[in-house]
A and B are shown apart, each in its own frame.
Chain A
Amino acid sequence: MAIALEAALVDQLRRQEEDAFTFIYERHKAQIYNYLYRLSGSRELADDLTHDTFLSAYESLPKLRPDSNIAPWLYRIASNRFRDVLRRKRVVSWMPWGDSPRNEAQLSVLGGEQSLPEQEAVQTALSHMKPDYALCLVLRLAEGFSSEETAQILGISAEAVRMRLSRARQMFKTAYAAGELGAVG
């Protein structure tokens, strides 16, 4: 039933029906914005990238494949927009959480029990990882996609995701431990 509904939605989207697009926008806007916020660490950049993501999504609706899954498709566009920024600006290391600590404090936490310093530590550790590995970790664990969905988003095989995830965990552990040591030192 869910598959049939998704297929019907995709069909409406391919015809660029405004209501269908509004529906997916309402359903995914917070996810996409937070994903981009997590990746970029900047509210302003996340704003811009969310805007670009939905605009690109709208523009590419006629090319949407009939068997597409909406969420991975949107995440793929968002990930590509983020990679574009990395390429353009040569931002090899990401900024720490938020434009300022006050911005982060404005986040309304709807789940999780991490304190702000913990969140910052996670963000900092991710910012020291290679982007492709960090993307894999964020999609698979923070966003909760399966290996197959992550593969679809990143345009690689599911096996490559599993290998990358294993490596990404080690990278994150090392970076996180280094951050803790730095904080202690």
Chain B
Amino acid sequence: MTCCELDTLSRYVDGDLPPLERGRVNEHLSDCGSCRREVARLRALDDMLRAWGAHRAPLPSASEQRITDTVRRRHRSSTARKFLSASRMTPAAVGSSIAAVLVLLSVNMHAGYSSRSASEIAWASQQSSIKRQAAPLLKARRSSAIQGGQIKVGTGTLGRHSNSTVLD
């Protein structure tokens, strides 16, 4: 039976008490035989466990081999996994990049082609219409058949605007 709390004596043995409290316990121990004996018992117990902990058996060689083998296997497979994932990543990345580029190109080409063809169609249609209208005039000029600024084309008549525009 001690007059100090066992927790306090345990902390005292561990050196975990704050200085002031440690001083008080020291004072108390100088007067109290039962607490001194308890502290001695706790220290003996600690020494016993430390001595018990000082025993060291070597890891059996079979166990060591097993652990080494397992870790090496894991390391190899992990390295291989990293390598494989890296190799898989490159073609995948390249493939997806190529696909993206192709998609972009095709979109651009399609967009370019569409816009060009629309304007081309308009341009060609305009050119064709002009050529159609101009053809008799050109023919007439080549044959010097222009008379008085008016040329009979079929049943219709080309006016001044057409003449100036087309023939100049």
Chain A residues engaging chain B, CB cutoff 8 angstroms: 16, 18, 21, 25, 29-31, 33-34, 37-38, 43, 47, 50-51, 54-55, 58-59, 106-114, 118-119, 122-123, 137-138, 141-144, 147, 162-163, 165-166, 169-170, 172-173, 176
Contacts and interface: CB of A to CB of B under 8 A. Distances in A.
B74 A58 contact: yes
Interface string B1-37: 0000011001100101000000000000000000000
B82 to A, nearest CB: 9
A183 to B, nearest CB: 15
Contact of A122 (B48, B56, B66): B48
Contacts of A166: 6-7, 10-11
B52 A119 contact: yes
Nearest to B53: A142
Contact of B71 (A58, A110, A111, A162): A58
A32 B45 CA distance: 23
B167 interface: no
Q: Per DSSP, are chain A's interface residues mostly helix, strand or loop, or mixed?
A: helix
A154 to B, nearest CB: 16
Contacts of A170: 6
A170 B7 CA distance: 9
A98 B8 CA distance: 36
Contact of B55 (A59, A110, A144): A110
Contact of A143 (B46, B53, B60): B53
Given A18-B75, A29-B67, A172-B45, A112 B54 contact: yes
B86 to A, nearest CB: 14
A55 B41 contact: no
B53 A54 contact: no
Interface centre among A58, A109, A176 (most CB of B within 10 A): A58
Contacts of B70: 51, 54-55
A141 B60 contact: no
B63 interface: yes
A60 B16 CA distance: 34
24 contacts: A16-B78, A25-B67, A25-B71, A30-B56, A30-B57, A33-B57, A51-B66, A51-B70, A54-B67, A59-B74, A110-B54, A111-B54, A111-B55, A111-B56, A114-B48, A119-B55, A122-B49, A138-B53, A141-B50, A142-B49, A162-B16, A165-B10, A166-B6, A166-B7
